[in-house]
Amino acid sequence: MFARFRVLLVAILALVLTAGCASTVTPTGVQPGDTENTSSGVVEEKVLVIGHHVDPVTLNPVTNTTAAFQSVTASTIEQLVYFEPEGSDILPGLAESWAFSDDGLQLTMNLKEGVIFHNGEEFNAEAAKFSLEQLKASPPYERWTQEFGDIEVVDDYTVVINFAEPTGFALSALGRGSYVLPPAYYAELGAEEFSLAPVGTGPYQFVEWVKDDHVTFEAFEDYWGGPPAFDRIVWRVIPEDAARVAALQVGEVDLITNVTPGQANTIRNDENLRLVSIPGVRVFMTYVDSRLDHPVADPMVRRAMNYAVDKDGLVALFDGEARGLDGQYLLPGIIGYDETLDNFAYNPEKAKELLAEAGYPDGFTMTLKYPIDRYPLDKEMGETVAAYLEAVGIDVEQVPLEYGEFRRQHVEEETMGPAWMWGLATPSDPHMMVSLFGPGSIYTRFPDDQRVFDLIDQGMRETDTATREGTYKELMAIWNEEPLGIYMIVPNDLYGMSIAIENFVPRTDQVVDLRTTTTSE
Amino acid sequence: MGSYILRRIIQVIPTFIGITLITFLVLRLTGDPAAMVLGEMATEDALQEYRARFGLDAPLHIQYLRYMQGVVTGDFGTSLRYNEPVVKLLLERLPATLQLGGSALLFAIALGIPVGIFSALTQNRSLDFSVRALVLLGQAIPGFYLGILLIMLFSVQLGWLPTGGRGNLSHLILPTITLGTALVALIVRFTRSAILDVMRNDYIRTARAKGLRAQTVLFRHALRNAMIPLLTIIGLQMAVVFSGAIVTETVFSWPGMGRLIIQSIYARDFPLVQTAVLFVATTVILINLAIDILYVLADPRVRAD
Amino acid sequence: MCWPIRVYELTKTMATYRASLSLPTAAEPTQSHTRRSLRAFFRSWVNWIALLIIVIGFLMAITPKEWLPHDPTAVNPALRLQPPSLFSGEGDFLLGTDTLGRDILSRSIYAARWTYLVSVSAVVISTVLGTMAGLSAGYFRGWLDTIIARLIDMQLAFPIVLLSIAVLAVSGPSLLNMILVLGLVDWARYARVVRGSALSLREEDFVDAARATGATSWRIMMRHILPNILSSIVVLTTFSTARLMLTESALSFLGLGVTPPATTWGSMIGGGRDYILQAWWISAIPGTLITLTVLAINLAGDGLRDAFDPRGER
């Protein structure tokens, strides 16, 4: 018996050791020591290691809208046009210039010449057409590409997009998802296989992906923008927030994504590290279903709820790394934002008055659902909002839910109840933001309102900035008078990095674009 | 006896069917993969289209029959999230989990058995209590907390070990301690109990009476006899190892099955979760089956009427 | 190694296996045995300390909310992350405040009631359920045993996360639901152990004797078999209480914890997880409490087992 036990022990030991040895082969590149421990005679290799908070489930950016997945390939697969890093203007990418036709039904794009894909394919109008067709066919982008019609090749470097209706936000839609894919390679592999070995035109080409562990890229010497700054880029997956900061502190990684408010000070106080912050786009609100037979159906009650919640208190939860909403869904800097609207500055007395005026002097009972363990401080935000509402007499029953269950209840509208808190992230375009609340949308939880739907439709068709602005301001005024819910806050996105990392440009859309990033080492 | 064992093996079949059925129903009850895979911005149409494409809108019994048909023919389906065969995804992660689980078990055994013996030999003296308290302390700290504390101490403060990831042996040390600690207490407790028990048995007394040295008695007889129940107990802890692996793998960025399974549950990746549960269940059921059969072999009275 | 020896050895070792689960050998327990065991239990100072910790926790649990230094549920972002005045000497909060500005000391005491309520109720449910199932399966055998044994197999193999989400989906988060989930998760452990010993106890002479005098099955199970396994159930119970306290914190991540403003030590640790570096006290204080309690309960369990073990030399 004992002999057998010994055999078992040896077997386990062997398994542990061999598995350990086998795995040393793959991630050697992951060790950041590479940059420092260069022995004489060996050329120093510049490696950028990123500690990322999630493992991508796909490296094909056009089949999903998750910025955290798309970040990994953002320096590999480029876009025709880009959103500016902070704001809502559109900047050239592989399309150098563009122009709308007078009727707004055609968009002509002039493409960059002399760009090749990592596999040698040439980038031209055919490739652009192919890429746009993939975008058009992708279900997650359907909301924004419904008006896209045929795509025509005019000459080798000119492509035209036809629209069913004039679409003022078309460029924003392209800024979000105009990924440039190699036609022959993509067609041969299909969307799924492509995800395992992506090819693009960016400065870094794909090397390997060990799932849940790391993704490696290396410099693409024929990049149109000149030789890349790093020889290799390694995305390491570190899901635990504290472990990610620890890895940055000890120099195992050079840059980390998704620094949580609780970890930010650790990075701020470390002289070898830098905290980079950028306003985000995830708009946190407490939404209400005003179609229900419930006090929240009364706009006056909803205004009262807005006065009851201290936006500054919520910002304080994030150590100031957030901004409050100004009584409207749109953010400052976005067309249609109106600074003259009532921003519902914290005023519990006024909230109580309004509640009494609406016929609820003793408040009422309300369930509040919110997802937990999904966004930084989600549970804390829910608890704080509940506490503020309790303070003006509304009896809140809190229902924290696992995110998948939260989504299920949200999709099955009838189970959601009168109020729920969460954050939606849309590109910084007024139409893309407000069209979530169009007719038939799962986010439209108010009685059908033709004024609102008409304004949303009107805004989409307008291509002139001034008229667009007027339209959206009108819409914001309606939603200020009859709030969609409680306008809360937009947290900033935080990145931590070694002070040696230079020219890192954080983006509002949460995509980590490393094409311009360099190092001082 | 042979017929009992055969019957016992046949009885495993309804257990399997029960597990597939429960997993299947529970999953369908709890979420919508379309909403999770397509993201927040998906339109109602896109969601419907997706459900239709993957047969998620079919009546439940049809979906179940399709699934069982696949299981029987060895086709466990394609992950909704990764768009890859689920078996491939699970097998990719299996070595990492086996390595971590194996080394944690080894650590727990290497530490737990000697401490258990020591504790039994010094029964009820303060030394016994201090050792046991220390071991129990390790078990009483929540896994993620212990993991982060270890990283803070050994990686950030002392700089001895990497913070996470799978690489050479140094990467294995902290996750092993984190996962193994939960098992050590158990092994200490059972070793102590088994040794105390065996030491009182007649044949040990006989051996002692024959004048064998205490050490010989301990290692030749007592320990040897304690091994089987210990292995049984350890075997029964496989489910614990799996659930502990979820936490440990997350804290230490260890690319194993635990993380894959928990992420798949969160993402409502039906085919992947179904297969993973079936896999873990098979492991647990087979171990239980083996124990039941050992019981019968050991004590024939238990068997038939 | 020839076959008969192996069977002999197996017999020996399986006996040890059952003993290691602290199942006593068959013998009718007597009152004096129980009294003697309890005396043995209280002879050890370690057991006294363990009991003391448990009792302090219990006292915390029954402390009325009004007696606490601060309102444990009052949110005030302006007072967030205050360090403990116990160490810094500044501020009104002896053990500091959490991410929402709530007093950690008051909250820790307030959380004790939920922590105890949840784990104790869940243990009661799983003990009763598991013991009844295991007893009936082991005693009656036949089809009942087959069904229960299959259920045990399934339960042991089914991931708790999935079960929790299922309950969450079907009936929403509530204190009762979480207690039910925890109880359902654990019943199989008891059932397995109890069934095993009931299987062999029913063959013992004293059971045959009872049967011969015309005792009903219920009476035999309750009067003759149950007392024999009671001590091992008690021991399992203490270990379960400890384990469930930890499991509860994991469930609160799934939304199945007690719903705010109620809280437990486990969810307090979870809430401070992100702030371990910046504000260690948020998680360290409930962490210490839960660790001490789990330790105490485990030591008490060990002590009880040693004391009740009829083979123990004392």
**How many domains does one find in chain B?**
2
Query: Per the CB < 8 Å rule, is A263 touching C274?
Result: yes
Q: How many CB atoms are closer than 10 A to CB B121?
A: 16
Block means of pLDDT (10 residues each) for chain C, 314 residues, are 34 45 46 72 81 91 84 84 79 83 90 89 90 88 84 78 77 82 84 80 79 82 79 75 77 76 85 83 88 84 71 40
Q: Any idea what DSSP says for residue A122? A: B
- Residue A459: CATH number of its domain: 3.10.105.10
Residue C8: the pLDDT is: 37
In a domain, B138, yes or no: yes
For residues B128 and B271, membership in a common domain is answered with yes
Residue B219: the pLDDT is: 66
H-only helix segments in A214-373: 241-249, 261-268, 299-308, 311-317, 348-357
Q: Is A343 on the interface with B (CB under 8 A)?
A: no
Q: Which H/E stretch holds residue A162?
A: strand A158-163
In a domain, A277, yes or no: no
For residues A137 and A210, membership in a common domain is answered with no
- Specify whether the CB–CB gap between A379 and A373 falls below 8 A: yes
Query: Which residues in chain C touch residue A320, judged by CB atoms under 8 angstroms apart?
Result: none
For residues A92 and A160, membership in a common domain is answered with yes
Single residue among A132, A158, A180 that ends a domain in this structure = A180
Report the range of poorest mean pLDDT among A221-230, B228-237, B285-294, C115-124: B228-237
For residues B95 and B190, membership in a common domain is answered with yes
Query: Which residues in chain A touch residue C165, judged by CB atoms under 8 angstroms apart?
Result: 402, 404-405
Touching chains, C (3+ CB pairs < 8 A): A, B
In a domain, A185, yes or no: no
Phi/psi zone of residue A427: left (φ > 0), alpha (ψ -120 to 50 degrees), beta? beta
Query: Per the CB < 8 Å rule, is C77 touching A373?
Result: no
For residues B185 and B132, membership in a common domain is answered with yes
In a domain, A276, yes or no: no
d(CA A392, CA A464): 44
| Per-residue model confidence as pLDDT tens for chain A (521 residues) | 444 445 544 555 454 444 444 333 333 334 444 444 444 455 678 999 999 998 898 999 998 888 899 999 999 999 999 999 988 889 999 999 999 988 888 999 999 999 999 999 999 999 999 999 999 999 888 888 888 999 999 999 999 999 988 887 888 899 988 999 999 999 999 988 999 999 999 999 999 999 889 999 999 999 999 999 999 999 999 998 889 999 999 999 999 999 988 889 889 999 999 999 999 889 999 999 999 999 999 999 999 999 999 999 999 999 899 999 999 999 988 889 999 999 999 999 999 999 999 999 999 999 999 998 888 889 999 999 999 999 999 999 998 888 888 888 888 877 788 999 999 988 888 988 998 898 888 899 999 999 999 999 898 888 788 888 999 999 999 999 999 999 999 999 999 999 999 999 999 888 999 999 999 87
- Residue A117: CATH number of its domain: 3.90.76.10
Query: Which residues in chain A touch residue B163, judged by CB atoms under 8 angstroms apart?
Result: 238, 243, 246-247, 250, 252
Burial (CB count <10 Å: 0-12, 13-18, 19+), residue A410: buried
- Residue B117: CATH number of its domain: 1.10.3720.10
For residues B103 and B217, membership in a common domain is answered with yes
For residues B31 and B155, membership in a common domain is answered with no
d(CA B280, CA C157): 7
For residues A65 and A113, membership in a common domain is answered with no
DSSP per residue, C262-286: ---HHHHHHHHGGGTTT-THHHHHH
In a domain, A202, yes or no: yes
Residue C12: the pLDDT is: 44
In a domain, B81, yes or no: no
Average pLDDT, chain B: 80
Query: Which residues in chain C touch residue B150, judged by CB atoms under 8 angstroms apart?
Result: none
In a domain, B162, yes or no: yes
In a domain, A265, yes or no: no
Nearest chain C Cα distance for residue A410, angstroms:
12
d(CA B284, CA C154): 9
In a domain, B78, yes or no: no
Residue B204: the pLDDT is: 61
Residue in A with minimal Cα distance to C253: A373
In a domain, A56, yes or no: yes
Residue A293: the pLDDT is: 92
In a domain, A486, yes or no: yes
Whose CA is closest to C49, among C279, C287, C307, C299?
C299
- Tell me the average pLDDT across B290-305: 60
For residues B248 and B153, membership in a common domain is answered with yes
For residues A501 and A486, membership in a common domain is answered with no
For residues A362 and A476, membership in a common domain is answered with yes
Query: Which residues in chain C touch residue B12, judged by CB atoms under 8 angstroms apart?
Result: 153
Confidence of residue B300 (pLDDT cuts 50, 70, 90): low
- Tell me the average pLDDT across B277-293: 78
pLDDT tens, position by position, B246-276: 888 988 999 988 888 888 888 889 999 889 8
Nearest chain A Cα distance for residue C205, angstroms:
33
Whose CA is closest to A210, among B253, B242, B144?
B253
Nearest chain C Cα distance for residue B271, angstroms:
14
For residues A332 and A373, membership in a common domain is answered with yes
Domain residues for B9?
2-73
Residue in A with minimal Cα distance to B80: A57
For residues B138 and B241, membership in a common domain is answered with yes
Compute the half-sphere exposure of residue C188: CA atoms within 13 Å on the CB side of its CA. Answer: 20
What is the end-to-end Cα distance of chain C in Å, rounded? 38
pLDDT tens, position by position, B31-65: 788 888 888 888 888 888 888 888 888 888 888 99
Single residue among B14, B42, B73 that ends a domain in this structure = B73
Nearest chain B Cα distance for residue C196, angstroms:
9
Q: How many CB atoms are closer than 10 A to CB B270?
A: 23
Q: Is C9 on the interface with A (CB under 8 A)?
A: yes
As for the ipTM of the complex, it is 0.82
- Considering only CB atoms, A262 lies closest to which of C78, C260, C278, namely C278
d(CA C113, CA C135): 32
For residues A398 and A456, membership in a common domain is answered with yes
Residue B277: the pLDDT is: 85
In a domain, A428, yes or no: yes
Whose CA is closest to B139, among C291, A402, C227?
C291
Three-state SS across C47-68?
HHHHHHHHHHHHHHHHCCHHHC
In a domain, B258, yes or no: yes
Confidence of residue B220 (pLDDT cuts 50, 70, 90): low
Rounded to 5 degrees, φ, ψ at A398 are -85, 135
d(CA B257, CA B94): 6
Residue C246: the pLDDT is: 76
- Specify whether the CB–CB gap between A291 and A472 falls below 8 A: no
Query: Which residues in chain B touch residue C158, judged by CB atoms under 8 angstroms apart?
Result: 19, 22-23, 277, 281
Query: Per the CB < 8 Å rule, is A379 touching C100?
Result: no
Give C 160-219 residues with CB within 8 A of chain A.
165, 168-169, 172-173
In a domain, B169, yes or no: yes
For residues B210 and B118, membership in a common domain is answered with yes
For residues A153 and A202, membership in a common domain is answered with no
pLDDT tens, position by position, C179-205: 888 888 888 888 887 887 787 777 777
For residues B54 and B93, membership in a common domain is answered with no
For residues A389 and A514, membership in a common domain is answered with no
H-only helix segments in A392-449: 403-411, 430-434
- Specify whether the CB–CB gap between C176 and C246 falls below 8 A: no
Query: Per the CB < 8 Å rule, is B197 touching C19?
Result: yes
Query: Which residues in chain A touch residue B260, judged by CB atoms under 8 angstroms apart?
Result: 212
For residues B44 and B149, membership in a common domain is answered with no
**How many domains does one find in chain A?**
3
For residues B99 and B51, membership in a common domain is answered with no
Residue A59: the pLDDT is: 94
- Specify whether the CB–CB gap between B254 and B230 falls below 8 A: no
Query: Which residues in chain B touch residue C269, judged by CB atoms under 8 angstroms apart?
Result: 142, 145
- Residue A53: CATH number of its domain: 3.40.190.10
Interfacial residues of A (vs C; Cβ cutoff 8 Å): 1, 241-242, 245, 260-263, 265-266, 310, 313-314, 316-317, 372-373, 376-377, 379-380, 382-384, 386-388, 397-402, 404-405, 408
Residue A36: the pLDDT is: 43
Residue A307 corresponds to which tokens in the numbers above? Answer: 């006065």
For residues A328 and A457, membership in a common domain is answered with yes
Query: Which residues in chain C touch residue B137, judged by CB atoms under 8 angstroms apart?
Result: 291, 295
For residues A446 and A351, membership in a common domain is answered with yes
Single residue among A180, A208, A242 that ends a domain in this structure = A180
Residue pairs between chains B and C whose CB atoms are closer than 8 Å = 168
Residue C313: the pLDDT is: 38
Nearest chain B Cα distance for residue C71, angstroms:
27
pTM for this model (two decimals) = 0.85
For residues A54 and A112, membership in a common domain is answered with no
Domain residues for A97?
81-180
Angstrom CA distances, A306 to A324, B129, B216, B256, C259, stand at 12, 59, 78, 46, 24
Single residue among B73, B103, B129 that ends a domain in this structure = B73
For residues B31 and B102, membership in a common domain is answered with no
Domains (range + CATH), chain C? 41-69+90-307 (1.10.3720.10)
Residue A15: the pLDDT is: 47
